[in-house]
Amino acid sequence: MNCNEALVLISAAVDGELSITEEQHFLQHLSKCGECYSEFEEAQKTKMIIREIIVRFNAPQTLINSVMQLTSLSQKETS
């Protein structure tokens, strides 16, 4: 794997979306390339910061019910 290939995979690697083979090749490349390793670390830090900043809330049950009803109606119409 070269640097261009590794850089393309960084986002997927941070999100845990690589196949086993891709992850093996990716980690092998990072073990040899300090520049790509640094990029990967920065991407991991960025994701952690975003997770800390994002405010999550539970949707009101009435909204959930409305969405579920609309989904059900939509599925019936397409059948």
What is the pLDDT, as a whole number, of residue 79?
62
Angle in degrees, CA 45, 51, 37, rounded to 5: 20
Is a pLDDT exceeding 80 seen at residue 57?
yes
What is the pLDDT, as a whole number, of residue 12?
96
Dist. CA 62–CA 48, nearest whole Å: 32
Q: 3-78 adopts what CATH topology?
A: Arc Repressor Mutant, subunit A (1.10.10)
- The average pLDDT across 53-76 equals 87
Residues 6 or more apart in contact with residue 29 via CB below 8 angstroms:
1, 2, 3, 5, 6, 36
Domain boundaries, the chain: 3-78
- Is the CB of residue 51 less than 8 Å from the CB of residue 15? no
Is a pLDDT exceeding 90 seen at residue 56?
no
- The 10s digit of each residue's pLDDT in 3-53 is 999 999 999 999 999 999 999 999 999 999 999 999 999 999 999 998 888
